[in-house]
């Protein structure tokens, strides 16, 4: 089965289980490679409830090193899911500089208004006009993030749909998406097919088939991720993710080692 490149660890304070249990699930499901991509620590105590502390980065590295030693038959990548937050990225990149990451997933979980994917404040989505504002602002932030050229993979590209709220003007959002995908195609940022949306109210993979087709036309390569926050999530619904990739016309996917991309054919 295709590698799962989006696995969290208990260090982020909202995932459960030991790293070795995630690897055991991967082995049981026939995966030959996985990547831990836990939430990036932020300096200055920002958002500490949902992420490791800056001083825990060395603990994270040790957790990944330990499972690498414990499971020599599984290729295990060391990665991060980094939030794009304007004004803070200098600090964030300074903090992680020199870490031997295989890849960085860039994600947006906050607009300036609120952490829109947080289930504790899902109610706010019902506010008049909010869905339009969040979708449009979200796409502007993703464009900034992808244009920075600092990331290997775009995380859960259409995540504002998580609770089932869509923009009233889809064409404006689609236009922004298409601009982002053009930049990604040109600067070699891949797009992840993330199956966690199937476990959320929207019950859809991120991104949709329509967006994935646009991505392929823009020359954007793909990776696969379960966004596992529990051991049983690893490799979850990858048969459906694979079918979606094929339906969008993809024939191959990409893997990363120390930032270097290699292309592999999708399994038959
Ligand atoms: Zn998380
Ligand atoms: Zn995420």
**Largest alpha-carbon pair distance within the chain?**
53
Buried b / exposed e over 43-76, threshold 16 CB at 10 Å, is eeeeeeeebbebebbeebeebbeebbeebeebbb
Looking at the chain, which runs of residues are DSSP E strands? 4-7, 33-39, 75-83, 103-107, 153-154, 190-194, 222-225, 252-257, 260-265
Residue 159 CA to ligand 2 centre (angstroms): 8
Residue 39 CA to ligand 2 centre (angstroms): 8
Residue 268 CA to ligand 1 centre (angstroms): 31
Residue 1 CA to ligand 2 centre (angstroms): 22
Residue 255 has a CB neighbour count (10 Å cut-off) of 21
Instruction: Report whether 122 contacts 130 (CB < 8 A).
Output: no
Against a cut of 0.75, is the pTM above it? yes
Tell me what pLDDT residue 108 has: 96
Q: Which numbered ligand comes closest to the C-alpha of 11?
A: 1
Residue 164 has a CB neighbour count (10 Å cut-off) of 13
How many structural domains is the chain composed of?
A: 1
Tell me what pLDDT residue 23 has: 98
Low-confidence ranges of the chain (pLDDT < 50): none
Residue 229 CA to ligand 1 centre (angstroms): 7
Residue 82 CA to ligand 1 centre (angstroms): 11
Domain span holding position 255: 4-265
**For 175, phi and psi rounded to 5 degrees?**
-65, -45
Task: For residue range 38-78, list pLDDT tens digits in order.
Answer: 999 887 677 778 899 888 999 999 999 999 999 999 999 99
Tell me what pLDDT residue 96 has: 92
Residue 89 has a CB neighbour count (10 Å cut-off) of 17
Residue 265 CA to ligand 1 centre (angstroms): 29
Q: Which numbered ligand comes closest to the C-alpha of 156?
A: 2
Instruction: Report whether 79 contacts 102 (CB < 8 A).
Output: yes
Closest CA to 155 of 203, 117, 105, 200: 105
Q: Indicate the average pLDDT of the chain.
A: 95
Residue 139 CA to ligand 2 centre (angstroms): 15
| Burial category of 175 from C-beta neighbours within 10 Å (exposed 0-12, middle 13-18, buried 19 and up) | exposed
CA distance 6 to 180: 21
CATH of the domain at 238: 3.20.20.140
In angstroms, the first-to-last Cα distance of the chain is 10
Q: Which numbered ligand comes closest to the C-alpha of 50?
A: 1
Residue 107 CA to ligand 2 centre (angstroms): 6
CA distance 239 to 100: 31
Q: Which numbered ligand comes closest to the C-alpha of 6?
A: 2
Contacts of 11 (CB under 8 A, 6+ apart): 38, 52, 56, 59, 60, 63
């Amino acid at each position: 089965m295709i590698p799962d490149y989006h696995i969290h660890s208990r260090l982020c304070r909202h995932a459960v289980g030991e790293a070795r249990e995630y690897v055991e699930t991967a082995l049981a499901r026939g995966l030959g490679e996985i990547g831990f991509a836990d939430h990036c620590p932020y300096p200055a105590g920002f958002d500490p409830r949902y992420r490791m502390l800056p001083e825990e980065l060395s603990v994270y590295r040790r957790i990944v090193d330990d499972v690498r030693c414990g499971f020599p038959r599984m290729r295990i990548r060391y990665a991060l899911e980094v939030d794009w937050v304007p004004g803070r990225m200098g600090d964030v990149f300074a903090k992680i500089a020199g870490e031997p990451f295989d890849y960085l997933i860039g994600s947006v979980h906050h607009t300036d208004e609120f952490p829109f994917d947080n289930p504790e404040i899902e109610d706010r989505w019902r506010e008049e006009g909010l869905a339009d504002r969040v979708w449009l602002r979200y796409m502007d932030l993703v464009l900034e993030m992808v244009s920075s050229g600092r990331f290997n993979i775009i995380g859960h590209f259409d995540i504002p749909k998580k609770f089932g709220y869509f923009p009233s003007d889809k064409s404006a959002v689609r236009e922004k998406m298409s601009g982002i995908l053009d930049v990604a195609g040109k600067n070699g940022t891949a797009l992840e097919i993330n199956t966690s949306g199937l476990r959320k109210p929207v019950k859809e993979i991120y991104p949709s088939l329509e967006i994935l087709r646009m991505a392929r036309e823009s020359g954007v390569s793909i990776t696969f991720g379960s966004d596992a926050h529990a051991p049983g999530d690893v490799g979850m619904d990858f048969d459906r993710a694979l079918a979606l990739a094929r339906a969008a016309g993809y024939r191959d996917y990409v893997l990363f080692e120390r930032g270097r991309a290699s292309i592999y054919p999708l399994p038959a």
